[in-house]
Structure 1
Amino acid sequence: MYNQSKQSELIRFARVVAGSTVIDVYPGAGDWTRLFSDAVGPEGRVYSFVPAEVAHFKNDPLGLMRTLASEPGRENVEAVSADLVAMPEVTQPADVLWLHLFYHDLHTALIQAKGATAADFNRAVYERLKPGGFYVIVDHTADIGTGTSAAQSLHRIDPASVRKEVEAAGFVLDAVGAMLVNKDDPHLMKVFDSSIKGETDRFAYRFLKP
């Protein structure tokens, strides 16, 4: 997880404010769900969305989020699960959809096992966001021109490929964040490699639903 300064910067970049409704997709240990819960306050809402494609993992991702939602002061959090592209069926119209280090997985066998594609998911996001809502993507950077070819092998993706796919769903690129750029990352190693783990070069895109 990032230091507090980077966390705050990313929350501002995502335009998460008091009263917002946020969908946190594949929340992992729930770090961002907790941060968003604090940021949106009692008048806001956070959907901690665990895709069914990963709900079977041994660490019980959905159970973890249900436990988080039962913590004191987390009444604004709801843990939900469904097939990835059925996300709109278990959430309400949102101001922000947050996708942290997960977009590349849309191009992996695990996530596509039930038939989901990046195009399908991007359309589902467009459907679920309110007009003027933000689709925020942070991911590990792959070399320019590599497209989605490193998604399975290195868990990286070419930012240009992400932009092309998301804009095809009707979104408009609203901002690019450079707060997680690491020019010392050669983009050659898997993101879990001990030499780069936690320090990968990352891009941040904020897309707007017109």
Structure 2
Amino acid sequence: MLYLKRLTLSSLIIIPALLAMPAPAGSAAAKRAASPLARALADPARGTDRTADDRRHPAALIALAGVKPGQRVLDLIPGSGYWTRIFSRIVGPRGRVYAVWPEAYGKLAQPNVATLRAMSATPAFANVVTSVQPTTDLTAPEPLDMVWTSQNYHDYADPFMGSPGPDSLARAVFKMLKPGGVFMVIDHMSAPGRGMADTDKLHRIDPETVKKQAKAAGFEFVGESRVLINTIDPLTVPVFNASIRGRTSQFAFKFRKPMR
């Protein structure tokens, strides 16, 4: 009888311990337990994108943005689709990702446009819509949860885009977003006080100018990440200069459209 009592007590200790143990890595239970962001970053379809993760910090930046399953996201001037593929996996089949270029930029990015059009035509990325819009007046076919632009906000100040002004972009984004929607701006930093003086030759913009323009458009500034700050960047050379290319100091700002 004493033996049986001891066995019962042992079972009460061991069984809960087993239940509390994490599922083995790679198991079905572990995959179900992973967050949508973690699953997106681990997706084999990202291929060589993952080699840039240490430099681009997707986990921190998308966590700041707060992208969720089922959302409508616009990736403005998406390049080769690095962020587009992550968004596609996070929003899932109930969501939608719009990969958009204004025509002036799309003419210079034909290989990227072709790549994303081919990608969005596959079943694996059926939730991605790729388009080139005829003007810089950004539009979307439905209200959006987020507009994301990485390293291209400054381009709206430049002659090759017709110089519409980044402030016009901020106003357009404000109209496109749902109440509570998010505008994420990541861009190369210029030296403090430079405003938009360096957008064309250096491809940089003053972070404080971006804040002022977004606030003037009606946005609230709600957060930032410093994971892309690089203190060795002098902020005074073109971003394509070999001494700093791929390692520029960048700001990452989160703005929100007020609920009312």
The TM-score bracket by the shorter chain reads over 0.9
The one-character-per-residue Cα deviations of 1:75-121 (angstroms, maximum 9, x if unpaired) are: 11001221454322x432111100100011111111126xx222222
- The 5 Å alignment of 1:41-80 reads 41-57=92-108, 59-80=110-131
Alignment partner of 2:249 out of 182, 190, 201: 201
| Count of residues paired in the alignment | 207
Q: Deviations over 1:2-45 (max 9, x none)?
A: 32881111111111111111000001111111111011111111
Query: Is 1:100 the counterpart of 2:150 in the alignment?
Result: yes
Helix, strand or coil for the counterpart of 1:73?
helix
Question: 1 CA distance for matches of 2:219 and 2:79?
Answer: 26
Query: Can you give the 5+ residue segments of structure 1 that lack an aligned partner in the other structure?
Result: none
AA partner of residue 174 (structure 1): V
CA 1:107–1:58: 2 relative to 1, 3 Å: closer
Structure with bigger helix share is 2
Checking the alignment, whether the CA contact within 8 Å between 2:103 and 2:136 is kept in structure 1 is no
- Decide whether aligned partners of structure 1 residues 14 and 201 sit closer, same or farther in structure 2, where only a CA change above 3 A counts: same
Match of 2:236? Answer: 188
Give the aligned partner of residue 176 of structure 2.
Answer: 128
1:12 pairs with one of 54, 63, 66:
63
Q: Which residue of 1 aligns with 2:215?
A: 167
Greater mean deviation of Cα atoms: 70-79 or 16-25: 70-79
Partner SS, residue 138 of structure 2: helix
* Correspondence 1:140-155 to 2 at 5 A: 140-155=188-203
Task: Please report the TM-score for the alignment, with normalisation by the length of structure 1.
Answer: 0.93
Query: Residues of 2 paired with 1:98 and 1:129: CA distance?
Result: 11
Conserved in 2, the CA contact under 8 Å of 1:84 and 1:121? Answer: no
Q: TM-score, normalised by structure 2?
A: 0.75
1:56 Cα deviation from its structure 2 partner? 1.6
Q: 1:25 to 1:162 in 2, by over 3 A?
A: same
Q: Is there any run of 5+ residues in structure 2 with no aligned partner, and where?
A: 1-51
Partner of 1:117: 165
Aligned-pair CA distance for 1:178? 0.8
Kindly provide the CA deviation profile for residues 136-186 of structure 1, in whole angstroms up to 9, marking residues without a partner as x.
Answer: 000001111011101111101110011111111101101011111111111
Q: Secondary structure at the match of 1:174?
A: strand
Give the Cα separation in 2 of the matches to 1:172 and 1:101: 21
Provide the alpha-carbon RMSD of the alignment: 1.7
Name the larger-Rg structure: 2
Pair 1:147–1:32, CA change in 2 (3 A): same
Q: 1:60: Cα distance to partner?
A: 3.9
- As a proportion of its length, which structure holds more strand? 1
* Alignment check: 8 A CA contact 1:50 1:61 kept: no
Q: Distance in 1 between matches of 2:160 and 2:225?
A: 28
